Amino acid sequence: MLQKRHLLHWLQKKLCHNEIWIYFYFVIYVLFYIQKHLYSSFTERISNMKPLSSFKPQAVFSDIDGTLLTSEHVVSPLTSSAIHTLTDQGVLFTISSARSLSGIRPIIKKNDFHCCTIAFSGALILDEDQNILYEKGISISDASKIIDVIEKKCPHVTWNVFTSEDWIVKDRTDPHVIHEETVVETTSIEGSLQSLSDTLMVDKILCMCDSEYMSPSETLLRKYFPELSIARSSDSLLEIMAGGINKAEAVKYLCDLRKIPLTSTIAFGDNYNDLEMLEAVGCGVLMGNAPSELQKHFSFVTKSNDQDGIFQAFKELGVLN
């Protein structure tokens, strides 16, 4: 009996000892396997990555306010020179803005840009010679319903109506309107929808308000008009366009027209209405002055619009070489 006990005890010790070694060898094997396969996967990914210096875009898209323009509302010499260098090389440059044509044309003229234009966040697209390629607006009757809701449900909001050529406001003495006229360097017309022909289309309705009223106004308008495209372009500006209108769709339309693959495009923007465009292109670049909430979601954040952010991104990407 005693011998049996000794034998059992000896076997238990042996098993425990062997289990330790089995476990040890198992751990070594797992670590070796992970190291081998992760390294292989990593090196394969690195070898397949295109160096930034070899990225040569066929098209560049840029927002205006907070992106192309500095806080002094001018295009910096470095950025302007870089854009001219690229267009001279055959790269398609396109201004993509929520602004109206009257707010975009002076910038094109002042900087002698030969470029396409995406206005009203994509509701209107023009070629380099200012010929209309695409337009989709809101009917006068639908615009009237939207304004009616704004006036009844959003008392702190100032509405603006834009057609391809005109900017109509209810009150030109409104501080928001005065400020916007200064920024975009164009003049509004005091009037109403009734002054427009029923055959005209409204390209955009712009809502202006103090920042504390922006979120509730946006939520309410989205609830009443889910079929429309509604995008915030700043803390105090809310854009309302026809359904399906956004900068990304405009970029896709223009690239398809010019037979340019989206993978060969760069876009610059600084706000929420640029988000879809930045996600659609091959290389989306967010400006350093963009809201911090947006910056969390982008791997490529360049310098601010006052620090030649566009030029610095071109330099980092190596597109000016």
∠ Cα 46 49 53 (to 5°): 120
pTM for this predicted structure: 0.80
- Can you give the pLDDT at residue 35? 53
Instruction: Please tell me the distance from the alpha carbon of residue 226 to that of residue 230, in angstroms, as a whole number.
Output: 9
Phi and psi torsions of 60, nearest 5°: -130, 130
- Can you give the pLDDT at residue 197? 76
Instruction: Please tell me the distance from the alpha carbon of residue 246 to that of residue 231, in angstroms, as a whole number.
Output: 8
Residue 184: name the closest of 130, 93, 254, 103 by CA.
103
Burial 252-273 (b: 16+ CB within 10 A, else e): bebbeeeebebebbbbbbbbeb
- Domain 53-131+264-317 fold is Rossmann fold (3.40.50)
- Residue-wise pLDDT for 114-125, tens only, equals 999 999 999 999
Residue 68: name the closest of 38, 98, 33 by CA.
98
CA distances from 58 to 55, 88, 136, 263 (A): 10, 12, 26, 9
- Residue-wise pLDDT for 129-178, tens only, equals 999 999 999 999 999 999 999 999 999 999 999 998 899 998 999 999 99
Residues 6+ apart with CB under 8 A from 82: 310, 311, 314, 320
CATH of domain 138-241: 3.30.1240.10
Residue 61: name the closest of 285, 231, 243 by CA.
285
Low-confidence ranges of the chain (pLDDT < 50): 1-2, 4, 7-8, 11, 15, 21, 24, 27, 30, 34, 36-52
Residue 79: name the closest of 56, 54, 60, 97 by CA.
60
Phi and psi torsions of 183, nearest 5°: -65, -50
CA distances from 105 to 109, 126, 218, 221 (A): 6, 11, 29, 30
Positions annotated as catalytic residues are 63
Domain parsing of the chain, residue ranges: 1-49, 53-131+264-317, 138-241
Count Cβ atoms below 10 Å from residue 291 Cβ, excluding itself. 14
